[in-house]
Amino acid sequence: MKKVLVTGAYGFLGKYLIKELLDNGYSVVAFGRKKEELDKLKQENVETYVGDFCIKKDIVNASKNVDFIIHAGALSTVWGKRENFINTNVEGTKNVLYACKKNNIKRLVYVSSPSIYSGKVDRFDIDENDFDEENKLNYYIESKIMAEKEIHKTKNVPFVIIRPRGLFGIGDTSIIPRLIKANRKIGVPLFNNGKNIVDITCVENVALALRLALESKKAVGNTYNITNGEPREFKNILEELFKQINEPPKYLKISLNLMYGVSSTIEFIYKIFHIYKEPMITKYNICTLGYSQTLNIEKAKKDLKYIPKMTLSEGIKKYAEDYKRNKVL
Ligand SMILES: NC(=O)c1ccc[n+]([C@@H]2O[C@H](COP(=O)([O-])OP(=O)(O)OC[C@H]3O[C@@H](n4cnc5c(N)ncnc54)[C@H](OP(=O)(O)O)[C@@H]3O)[C@@H](O)[C@H]2O)c1
């Protein structure tokens, strides 16, 4: 039985990934800093290792006798101190690469992000090479680009990079809960009447893509976009979601240019005064909510044989059923 070490094991994606791996005959080492969270993952074929991948010896020791590493752990947020993003997402990834070399890991799958394509512009059918290496819309984006560069620079570590767009599903703490909360308060911000096209992904499909990235012979040395392959108007998705959870949608129609200007000013003030609490709006949020972004996933379909196993509507329904049962955001 092949053994996979998963970083970010008890994160949103990590839990789905572990299930996908176990369901397909792998054994797993769940790696993370919080013992109490790791204990919840303990089951047959899941070992746990309490450690921090920013500490080289932790990740080296944890990955002894492991075949593969999937590095899904990250500081995954839109705001914070630059040094924390660099330390976790860049230096941490360098430690994972070091562990791969030291322990002759057969393949590293790195979870990067299509946020590197983001900007103040509509973009359609983006392929994997189509991004600005100097994109500094936020420190998260900068750190993901830097981490990818470190992976490319490192010799003798077979790698695959996966860039999954906008994950949603049960357990999500960012995308859908934020929309529902906004809907209950001031309304969901809507630019251009919500006609911008978004291209999001059921978390189950991302877990599938990561497993396929371990298995595909063609994948080594390559980078893949992952989405559901169902680009839709933002407002159209919102209406389906709010219908499913029986809450009437409330929209806050605002000017994109105005809000981008406001968010730039807020960021400027936060930076000057070293405020690390996430502002109510950021330039990145405005770009994500206001501009179209669709990804080309043909390469993943061809090389990984990636076929999404859950449609957007199925994902929304599943989320809504759980939400109506538990009312937890
Ligand atoms: N969610 C999305 O929409 C999305 C989209 C594209 C890409 N991604 C990428 O997908 C991956 C998973 O995202 P997610 O949404 O599952 O994020 P998440 O829920 O925040 O999970 C990330 C996990 O990484 C762990 N971690 C952070 N620093 C660590 C360290 N130094 N040592 C050990 N563990 C550490 C965190 O554990 P602690 O609790 O100990 O901090 C957390 O459980 C990330 O690489 C993210 O950048 C996410």
Cα torsion 298, 300, 306, 309 to 10°: value is -80
Q: Which of 6, 12, 55, when mutated, tests ligand 1's pocket best, judged by the most ligand atoms within 8 Å of its CB? A: 12
Nearest CA to ligand 1 atom 19: 11
Helices and strands (H, E) in the chain, number of each type: 13, 15
Expressed in angstroms and rounded, the spacing between residue 172 Cα and the centre of ligand 1 is 12
Nearest CA to ligand 1 atom 34: 32
Ligand 1 atom showing the smallest separation from residue 37 Cα:
39
Ligand 1 atom showing the smallest separation from residue 201 Cα:
3
State if pTM tops 0.95. yes
Structure tokens at 178: 């934020």
Q: Are 226 and 209 within 8 A, CB to CB?
A: yes
Expressed in angstroms and rounded, the spacing between residue 73 Cα and the centre of ligand 1 is 4
Which class does domain 3-168+201-227+293-309 fall in? alpha beta
* Residues with C-beta less than 6 Å from any ligand 1 atom: 7-8, 10-14, 32-34, 52-54, 72-76, 88, 92, 111, 113, 164, 166-167
Structure tokens at 128: 């994997």
The pLDDT value given to residue 327: 75
Query: Considering Cα of 90, then 93, then 99, then 105, what sign does the dihedral take?
Result: negative
Ligand 1 atom showing the smallest separation from residue 13 Cα:
16
Domain map of the chain by residue range? 3-168+201-227+293-309
Ligand 1 atom showing the smallest separation from residue 73 Cα:
24
Ligand 1 atom showing the smallest separation from residue 166 Cα:
3
Expressed in angstroms and rounded, the spacing between residue 1 Cα and the centre of ligand 1 is 26
Q: Distance (Å, rounded) from C-alpha 232 to C-alpha 130?
A: 21
Nearest CA to ligand 1 atom 11: 72
- Give residue 25's identity as a one-letter amino acid code: G
322 CB neighbour count, 10 Å cutoff:
14
Ligand 1 atom showing the smallest separation from residue 9 Cα:
43
Q: Distance (Å, rounded) from C-alpha 24 to C-alpha 207?
A: 12
Expressed in angstroms and rounded, the spacing between residue 255 Cα and the centre of ligand 1 is 32
Expressed in angstroms and rounded, the spacing between residue 257 Cα and the centre of ligand 1 is 31
Tell me the residue length of the chain: 329
Q: Which of 33, 57, 76, when mutated, tests ligand 1's pocket best, judged by the most ligand atoms within 8 Å of its CB? A: 76
The pLDDT value given to residue 326: 85
Collapsing DSSP to helix, strand or coil, 91 comes out as: helix
Structure tokens at 146: 């830097």
Expressed in angstroms and rounded, the spacing between residue 270 Cα and the centre of ligand 1 is 24
Q: Distance (Å, rounded) from C-alpha 148 to C-alpha 133?
A: 10
Expressed in angstroms and rounded, the spacing between residue 71 Cα and the centre of ligand 1 is 9
Classify burial at 85, counting beta carbons within 10 Å of its beta carbon; exposed 0-12, middle 13-18, buried 19 or more. Answer: buried
Q: Which of 12, 312, 329 is nearest to 182 (CA)?
A: 329
Q: Which of 5, 10, 13, when mutated, tests ligand 1's pocket best, judged by the most ligand atoms within 8 Å of its CB? A: 13
Q: Which of 206, 216, 225 is nearest to 20 (CA)?
A: 206
Tens-binned pLDDT, residue by residue, of the chain (329 aa):
999 999 999 999 999 999 999 999 999 999 999 999 999 999 989 999 999 999 999 999 999 999 999 999 999 999 999 999 999 999 999 999 999 999 999 999 999 999 999 999 999 999 999 999 999 999 999 999 999 999 999 999 999 999 999 999 999 988 899 899 999 998 999 999 999 999 999 999 999 999 999 999 999 999 999 999 999 999 999 999 999 999 999 999 999 999 999 999 999 999 999 999 999 889 999 999 999 999 999 999 999 999 999 999 999 999 999 999 987 77
Give Cα 64 distance to the centre of its chain: 27
DSSP 43: B
Expressed in angstroms and rounded, the spacing between residue 121 Cα and the centre of ligand 1 is 27
Q: Distance (Å, rounded) from C-alpha 234 to C-alpha 199?
A: 9
